[in-house]
């Protein structure tokens, strides 16, 4: 059966089933770019019950193309199953019988929080007019969520990749409000190579004829920057997985029933095509651009006297962990970050590269339990 044509955007939009989402209205936000964003809201999900004093609240922050749906099946309103099913839930590392787990969709994202696919004050989709964001802006929006929930201090802030950058920013910018933090597969500042990989992906999106400067949200199904976003995903996915894993899984094998010599695909090409098609149906290209730019601008030391001075602001217990086969955020970055925080980095053993923090559930769970353990 042929799949129906993809909509111009895979974003959640008003009128779609809400699923488990709830929303908090944000105050006017003065962004790092100098723009002011008004009328925005943040989508989030929660699991467990808050203690009367809010002391059991844990903030979980997603990566670039993640969302607030940390736990739960795919279904109406949720295009994908929870991305940390084995970590969050009753009896698991983030035991929802004990902890009140809160997961927001990042500001600028596309699964319920205000982003480029949403209406601007003039009623048209923001599109390319949506203001540039920094990691600090995402955290300022999350501060409003904490206020809405009555959380004065998080028992832990946990995240990987973009989520790890946000968790670090929380610990530096709001040191009295973070009792502990788990920083997975991230560094203190974006590197030249990370910026270069991201730039290549953004060029792919912007080169799509249906990008239209980011103003494509009005296009009919079958139109939109699908090819550009799909190419960006293919590039990104190569940085998320390790060379050895790709070799072991695929080698130079042909895709079943196809002959590369006759124009068919290799198995690894089919794998990348699959991930590209999945993302196009559940994500928004302009959100991808804005959040990728936020990652490239990540520098916890900017305006704080440098990275070393910024890290000295942290007051909570911090566990830093990386994946030994991660080529996007290699373990040397976690070692440097941990040294600046006066601790040592934990190394997760995995053939899965950067995505190891999503795949190696047992090792990640051990790190979560460690950061939540009573000191």
User: 189 pairs with which residues across the strands?
Assistant: 299
Catalytic annotation, pick one of 161, 198, 242, 287: 161
Catalytic pick from 137, 326, 350, 355?
326
| Of the candidates 8, 6, 15, 9, the residue with the CA atom closest to the CA atom of residue 284 | 9
Q: Active site residue: 118, 226, 354, 355, which one?
A: 354
Number of H helices, E strands in the chain: 11, 10
Q: Among this protein's residues, is 237 annotated catalytic? A: no
Catalytic-residue membership of 326: yes
DSSP string, 291-323: HHHHHHT-BTTTTTTSHHHHHTT--SEEEEEEE
- Can 33 be counted among the known catalytic residues? no
CB 46 within 8 A of CB 102: yes
Percent helix, strand, coil in the chain, to 5, is 35, 15, 50
Task: Answer yes or no: are the C-beta atoms of 5 and 105 closer than 8 Å.
Answer: no
Helical packing angle, 135-149 and 162-173, nearest 10° = 70
Closest-CA residue to 296 (of 180, 198, 207): 198
> Which residues form the catalytic set?
161, 326, 354
């Amino acid at each position: 059966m042929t799949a129906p044509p993809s909509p111009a955007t895979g974003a959640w939009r008003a009128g779609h089933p809400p699923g488990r989402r709830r929303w908090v209205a944000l105050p006017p936000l003065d962004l790092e770019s100098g723009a002011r964003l008004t009328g925005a809201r943040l989508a989030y999900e929660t699991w467990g019950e808050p203690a009367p004093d809010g002391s059991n609240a844990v903030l979980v922050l997603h990566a670039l193309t993640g969302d607030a749906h940390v736990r739960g099946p795919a279904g109406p309103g949720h295009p994908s199953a929870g991305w940390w099913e084995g970590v969050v839930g009753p009896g698991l590392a983030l035991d929802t019988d004990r902890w009140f787990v809160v997961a927001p969709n990042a500001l600028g994202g596309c699964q319920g929080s205000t982003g480029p696919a949403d209406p601007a004050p003039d009623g048209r989709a923001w599109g390319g007019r949506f203001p540039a964001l920094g990691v600090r802006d995402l955290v300022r929006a999350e501060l409003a969520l904490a206020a809405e929930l009555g959380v004065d201090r998080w028992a832990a802030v946990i995240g990987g990749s973009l989520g790890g950058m946000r968790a670090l920013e929380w610990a530096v910018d709001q040191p009295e409000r973070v009792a502990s933090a788990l920083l997975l597969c991230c560094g203190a500042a974006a590197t030249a190579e990370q910026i270069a990989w991201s730039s290549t992906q953004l060029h792919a999106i912007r080169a799509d004829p249906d990008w239209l400067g980011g103003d494509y949200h009005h296009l009919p199904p079958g139109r939109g920057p699908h090819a550009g976003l799909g190419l960006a995903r293919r590039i990104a996915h190569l940085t998320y997985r390790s060379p050895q894993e790709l070799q072991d899984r695929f080698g130079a094998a042909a895709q079943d029933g196809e002959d590369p010599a006759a124009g068919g695909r290799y198995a690894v090409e089919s794998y990348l095509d699959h991930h590209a098609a999945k993302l196009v149906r559940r994500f928004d290209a302009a959100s991808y651009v804005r959040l990728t730019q936020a990652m490239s601008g990540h520098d916890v030391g900017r305006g704080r006297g440098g990275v070393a001075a910024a890290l000295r602001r942290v007051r909570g217990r911090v566990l830093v962990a990386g994946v030994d086969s991660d080529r996007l955020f290699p373990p040397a970055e976690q070692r440097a970050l941990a040294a600046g925080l006066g601790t040592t980095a934990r190394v997760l053993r995995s053939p899965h590269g950067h995505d190891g923090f999503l795949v190696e559930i047992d090792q990640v769970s051990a790190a979560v339990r460690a950061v939540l353990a009573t000191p």
